[in-house]
Structure formats: C-alpha cells, structure tokens
C-alpha cells in the first residue's frame, strides 16, 4: 500500500512535525507513506474573486503534477462526505481488495482547492464543518490514516 498526502505550503511548527513524523513512522509497517508539500502561491491579504481563482488554479496545477493516473484520490473539502474512522478504514480496505494500492489525500491551501483538483478526485472527504489550520489538518489526517490501518488490523489502538 502506498499512501501519500499532497498539501499546499510548508509546515513550520515543530510540534506538528513531530506528531506527523511519529505517525509516519508507525505507518511504515503498512507500506510506503509520504507527505509532499507544494509551494503556496503568494498573494496579498485582500483578493478579488479573480485573484483568488488564479491562486487556487496555480496551487491546483502544482498539486495535480504530483498525482499519477493510477492513484485513488481523496480531496479534503468542507462540503465532502463525512466518514467515521471505521468507514474510512473500510473504504481503504475495499480499495486494496480491488487493486487500488496507491491512495492520495489532498489538502489545499488557505483558499481551498481548485475545481480541477476536485474534478480529478475520486472522492471528497470532510472532517466536519470546523475550520482548522491546514498544518493541523495534516496531523489529524495522518492520525486518521494510521487509525484506519489499525482498525483493519483489528488492533485495540482504535478503542
């Protein structure tokens, strides 16, 4: 199984890096796990809709350049489908059973994801209607991916 997170921007906070590194280390026993950061597009605070669209398009192109055709893609989106940890685990298990062993999760930039990225995604996933910093979302997502593998393994970690 190859799991990848493609995200916009650099992670600066040491405590988040440490948490992600811990789960990444734990995930190694299940296959390859990697986080790929693409640069965020520099933009002024106040943007017109056209400027926002342009920023999202440029970030979207960078994201899409990191995705191969064979990958099953989950885009994180507030309006995506909410899943329980058990439901995500079952989906990952089913994907593996159907020969889809390359799974990619996408976390967009502060403005969200370009429509082209959402179109490429096989599924949209939501972690609820909370607004979370994108950097924190990386840690939450990494933990949930680990939790999914532990559920599928029948481990007591999940309880």
Model confidence pLDDT, tens digit, residues 47-85: 899 999 999 999 999 999 999 999 999 999 989 999 999
Q: What's 2-42+50-152's CATH class? A: alpha beta
Looking at residues 94-98, what average pLDDT do you find?
A: 94
Task: Return the closest-CA partner of residue 124 out of 91, 150, 158, 99.
Answer: 91
State pTM to two decimals: 0.95
Site of tokens 């209607």? 129
The reported pLDDT for the residue numbered 44 is 78
What is the residue extent of each domain of the chain?
2-42+50-152
The count of residues in the chain is 159
What was the pLDDT predicted at 157?
A: 81
| Distances, alpha carbon 12 to alpha carbons 9, 17, 146, in Å | 9, 8, 22
Rounded CA-CA distance 123/121 in Å is: 5
Helical H segments across the chain, by residue range:
14-27, 49-64, 85-97, 115-120, 134-153
pLDDT tens per residue across span 104-147: 999 999 899 999 999 999 999 999 888 888 889 999 999 999 99
Give the per-residue pLDDT at 159: 65
- Residue 108 is assigned to a ligand binding site: yes
């Amino acid at each position: 199984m190859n799991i990848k997170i493609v995200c916009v921007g650099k992670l600066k906070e040491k405590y988040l890096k440490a948490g992600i590194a811990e789960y990444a280390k734990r995930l190694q026993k299940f296959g390859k796990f990697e986080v790929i950061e693409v640069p965020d597009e520099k933009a002024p605070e106040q943007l017109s809709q056209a400027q926002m669209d342009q920023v999202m398009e440029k970030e979207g192109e960078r994201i899409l350049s990191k995705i191969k055709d064979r990958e099953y893609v989950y885009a994180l989106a507030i309006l995506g489908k909410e899943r329980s940890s058990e439901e995500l685990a079952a989906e990952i298990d089913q994907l593996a059973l159907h020969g889809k062993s390359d799974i990619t999760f996408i976390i967009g930039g502060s403005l969200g994801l370009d429509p082209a990225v959402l179109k490429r995604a096989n599924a949209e996933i939501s972690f609820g209607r909370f607004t979370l910093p994108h950097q924190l979302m990386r840690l939450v997502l990494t933990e949930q991916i680990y939790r999914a593998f532990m559920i599928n393994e029948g481990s007591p970690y999940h309880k």
